Amino acid sequence: MFSNPFTTRKSVLPGFGITMGVTLLYLVIIVALPLAAMVLKTASLGWAEFWSIVTSDRALSTYRITLGAAALATLINAGFGLLLAWVLVRYEFPGKRLIDGLVDLPFALPTAIAGLALVTVFSRNGWFGQYIEPMGIKIAYAPLGIAIAMAFTSAPFVIRTVQPVLEDLSDDVEQAAETLGARPWQIFRHVIWPMIFPAFLAGSALSFARSLGEFGAIVFISGNLPFKTEVTSLLVFIRLDEFDYPSAAALAMVMLIVAFLMLLTTNLIQAWQLRYAERS
Amino acid sequence: MRAPVTPVPLHPHPEVRAKRASKDGGEGTRQTTKRGPWQVALVLLAIALSALFLGVPLAVIFTYAFGSGIGVFWGQITEPSTLHAIWLTVLTAIVVVPVNMVFGICVAWLVTRFRFPGRRLLITFVEIPFSVSPIVAGVIYLFLYGSQGLLGPFLEAHDIRIMFTVPAIFLVSLFVTCPFVARELIPLMEVQGSDDEEAAISLGATGLQTFFYITLPNIKWALLYGAVLCNARVMGEFGATSIVSGAIRGKTNTLPLQVELLFNDYNTVGAFAAASTLAVIALLTLVLKYILERAVRQ
């Protein structure tokens, strides 16, 4: 076993060599190699072919639908998440623990099962659909359904990022503001909101990122009509089904690049949030 | 400004949260806001929205699964292809979860007990599968092991088949769950520090003794917590498995794929019966999560 050659403070603990070896081997086999395989596959297409695939009309329409639905889903979750985080931290009420537990349901429930439940609830004869469809609002097999499926599967993000920050806020500033005659709304707007904003933004970004890649729940509820309710992940799946591997590779590459950009964004926001928390 | 040591975990482990809270006098000291009409309205709105948005989809699964009676439900569940899907799903969890636990412990030990260049990058790398769409996860494995893929010609020459077999499901499940245990252990082990372990080593304990008698008792709940979340993800994975498994009926169909297949066959009761077993697992996950969070706090 060799010891850590880089460390500034010599660690007396053993296991650097073996844990480094296992970690790197695992990451190379499970994560890096498959990613590299797809990048190579896409690179073999050549720029012109890649570009014509990813800017085809059908692909462009999936980007529009995916981005639009994900934006709407994130808006829903921003509102719902802020409300739930606030209520769960600030008030005592019967059933609070039940709701706090239920919040994680979308992460525990398989997305396909969520999709099955949502399409059943919102279809024409469903529990909600029978009241909503006569009003002229179509959710199942319509773009709105995609947004709802995305919102459901990414619902916990905003709540679970804002909640701990709200719990850690110290009373002092609020009490000072109250003593100085601030109204509850002013206290929220000028004292609490600036402190939870970084966490809120981080949660919303995570929610948006997850929505862009969602597949399981959407397959059930969207109806999968080209140019109408087809999201990018679905188009990738369809291209694979047609054995059109170059198209699948190119479109998956677009999704991968966007996912990396979102990962970078959320990491930057979270680093900012951490600095913010340390300062306050 | 000091760079953050670890990325802020999504839901900080309860013990980390408890430690943070105890710094400013514990959670009990917060004065809950006085009750007025506004507060009551907000609470009622939150309860109503949670019930509609989270409760109803859960209720609909069980209502449709048992709507035609328990006999019909049982008949659907014991259908050979559904039974096989249940078995395959359980098998995948049995294989993947322990591997992910070992990997999680390795990563957490490495990045919390040693300082080395590229440490932050390594943590980000572990987190990558979390930000990748399940569909992309399936596609990258197809382009590695598939006949069109990087290793395709080599595998074919040696008559090894990975794509559209059960091992492909294992591999892709390992990919999607890569960060699950590590992300629970890293913040906890960072907070706990390595003083106890260093003491044990200097008193002559071996590395393994130190791990099993000092480290493991300290992280056991967090480890279990990560394993429970990992298990839920493995059993429920849909997009990635649907690409690499080929969804061959009675061969490589996991439970979520079986649900889709039954639904597309217009067998609603069958689809909901199969779905209800996964919903029960989800509920068990939530209960275990709650128990583990309490166990960690005490």
Residues A38 and A97 in one domain: no
Q: Determine the distance in angstroms separating the CA of A70 from the nearest CA of chain B, rounded to an integer.
A: 14
What is the Cα–Cα distance from B183 to B226, expressed in whole angstroms? 8
Residue of chain B whose Cα is closest to the Cα of A247: B139
A242 reaches B (C-beta below 8 A): no
> Rounded to whole angstroms, what are the CA distances from B13 to A73, A104, B185, B290?
27, 14, 8, 12
Residues 156-175 on B with a CB inside 8 Å of A are 171, 174-175
Q: pLDDT tens, A155-213?
A: 999 999 999 999 888 778 788 888 888 888 888 888 889 889 999 999 999 999 999 99
pLDDT of residue B246: 79
Q: Which of A23, A110, A156 sits opposite B256 (nearest CB)?
A: A110
Contact A20, B110 (CB under 8 A): yes
A209 reaches B (C-beta below 8 A): yes
Q: B267 in helix, strand or coil?
A: coil
Instruction: Tell whether the model's pLDDT for residue B9 goes beyond 50.
Output: no
What is the Cα–Cα distance from B169 to B254, expressed in whole angstroms? 9
Percent of residues, chain B, with pLDDT higher than 70 = 87
Q: pLDDT tens, B60-97?
A: 999 999 988 899 899 998 899 999 999 999 999 999 99
Q: Determine the distance in angstroms separating the CA of B207 from the nearest CA of chain A, rounded to an integer.
A: 6
Ranges of each domain in chain B:
83-297
Q: Which of A113, A236, A271 sits opposite B279 (nearest CB)?
A: A113
Beta strands in chain A (DSSP E): none
What is the Cα–Cα distance from B20 to B38, expressed in whole angstroms? 30
A263 reaches B (C-beta below 8 A): yes
B266, amino acid identity: Y
pLDDT of residue A4: 57
> Rounded to whole angstroms, what are the CA distances from B187 to A273, B124, B218?
16, 14, 13
Entry field: residues in chain B: 298
A59 reaches B (C-beta below 8 A): no
Per-chain mean pLDDT for chain A: 90
Smallest Cα–Cα separation from B50: which of A199, A105, A214? A105
Q: Which of A36, A93, A97 sits opposite B43 (nearest CB)?
A: A93
Residues A182 and A234 in one domain: yes
The reply to whether residue B125 touches residue A27, judged by beta carbons under 8 angstroms, is yes
Residues A67 and A134 in one domain: yes
Q: Hey, of B112, B122, B135, which one would you mutate to test binding to chain A, going by the most A CBs within 10 A of its CB?
A: B135
**Residue matched to tokens 């085809």:** A56
The reply to whether residue A113 touches residue B134, judged by beta carbons under 8 angstroms, is no
pLDDT of residue B1: 33
pLDDT of residue A177: 83
**Residue matched to tokens 């071996």:** B206
Q: pLDDT tens, A215-238?
A: 999 999 998 888 999 999 999 999
Averaged pLDDT for residues B289-298: 80
A191 reaches B (C-beta below 8 A): no
Greater pLDDT, A219 or B31: A219
Q: Determine the distance in angstroms separating the CA of B286 from the nearest CA of chain A, rounded to an integer.
A: 6
Residues A244 and A267 in one domain: yes
Q: Determine the distance in angstroms separating the CA of B50 from the nearest CA of chain A, rounded to an integer.
A: 7
> Rounded to whole angstroms, what are the CA distances from A244 to A237, A238, A258, B161?
10, 9, 22, 21
Residue of chain B whose Cα is closest to the Cα of A12: B198
Entry field: residues in chain A: 280
pTM here?
Answer: 0.88
Contact B229, B101 (CB under 8 A): no
ipTM of the complex: 0.89
Greater pLDDT, B100 or A2: B100
Residues A7 and A94 in one domain: no
B42, amino acid identity: L
Residues 83-112 on B with a CB inside 8 Å of A are 102-103, 106-107, 109-110
Greater pLDDT, B181 or A177: B181
Instruction: Tell whether the model's pLDDT for residue B7 goes beyond 50.
Output: no
Chain A positions in Cβ-Cβ contact with residue B2 (cut-off 8 Å): 278
Q: Hey, of B8, B192, B233, which one would you mutate to test binding to chain A, going by the most A CBs within 10 A of its CB?
A: B8
A183 reaches B (C-beta below 8 A): no
Render B137-191 in DSSP notation, one character per residue: HHHHHHHHHSTTSSSHHHHHHTT---TTSHHHHHHHHHHHTTTHHHHHHHHHHHH
Phi, psi of B194 (to 5 degrees): -120, 20
Cα B88 to chain centroid, rounded: 17
Count how many domains chain A has: 2
Chain B positions in Cβ-Cβ contact with residue A236 (cut-off 8 Å): 135-136, 139
Residues 6+ apart with CB under 8 A from A199: A161, A162, A164, A165, A273
Residue of chain B whose Cα is closest to the Cα of A84: B46
Any alpha helices (H) in chain B, and if so which ranges? Answer: 14-23, 37-50, 56-66, 70-77, 80-113, 119-131, 134-145, 152-157, 166-176, 180-192, 195-202, 207-210, 216-236, 239-244, 255-264, 268-297
HEC sequence for A178-247: HHCCCCHHHHHHHHHHHHHHHHHHHHHHHHHHHHHHCCHHHHHHHCCCCCCCCCHHHHHHHHHHCCCHHH
The reply to whether residue B286 touches residue A102, judged by beta carbons under 8 angstroms, is yes
Residues 69-88 on A with a CB inside 8 Å of B are 80, 83-84, 86-88
Range of the domain at A32: 1-44
Query: Where does the pLDDT of residue A136 fall: very low under 50, low under 70, confident under 90, or very high at 90 and above?
Result: confident
CATH code given to domain B83-297: 1.10.3720.10
Residues 130-149 on B with a CB inside 8 Å of A are 131-136, 139-144, 148-149
Q: B226 in helix, strand or coil?
A: helix
pLDDT of residue B15: 52
Residue of chain A whose Cα is closest to the Cα of B287: A101
Averaged pLDDT for residues A125-131: 89
Instruction: Tell whether the model's pLDDT for residue A271 goes beyond 90.
Output: no
B21 reaches A (C-beta below 8 A): yes
Task: Check residue B5 and report its DSSP letter.
Answer: S
CA angle, residues A54, A57, A62, in degrees to nearest 5: 70
- CATH number of A266's domain: 1.10.3720.10
Residues A174 and A212 in one domain: yes
Chain B positions in Cβ-Cβ contact with residue A256 (cut-off 8 Å): 132, 136
Smallest Cα–Cα separation from B72: which of B276, B236, B253, B283? B276
A51 reaches B (C-beta below 8 A): no
Greater pLDDT, A10 or A90: A90
pLDDT of residue B110: 95
The reply to whether residue B144 touches residue A34, judged by beta carbons under 8 angstroms, is yes
B295, amino acid identity: A
The reply to whether residue A110 touches residue B237, judged by beta carbons under 8 angstroms, is yes
What is the Cα–Cα distance from B227 to B135, expressed in whole angstroms? 23
Residues A83 and A20 in one domain: no
The reply to whether residue B131 touches residue A209, judged by beta carbons under 8 angstroms, is yes
Per-chain mean pLDDT for chain B: 86
Chain A positions in Cβ-Cβ contact with residue B151 (cut-off 8 Å): 37
Averaged pLDDT for residues B123-148: 92
Residues 6+ apart with CB under 8 A from A237: A215, B135, B239, B242, B243
Measure the CA dihedral B281/A214/B134/B80, to 10°.
40
> Rounded to whole angstroms, what are the CA distances from B208 to A13, A18, B35, B215, B221?
11, 12, 55, 10, 19
pLDDT of residue A129: 87
Q: Determine the distance in angstroms separating the CA of A218 from the nearest CA of chain B, rounded to an integer.
A: 11
pLDDT of residue A6: 56
Torsional class of A46: left (φ above 0), alpha (ψ -120 to 50), beta (otherwise): left
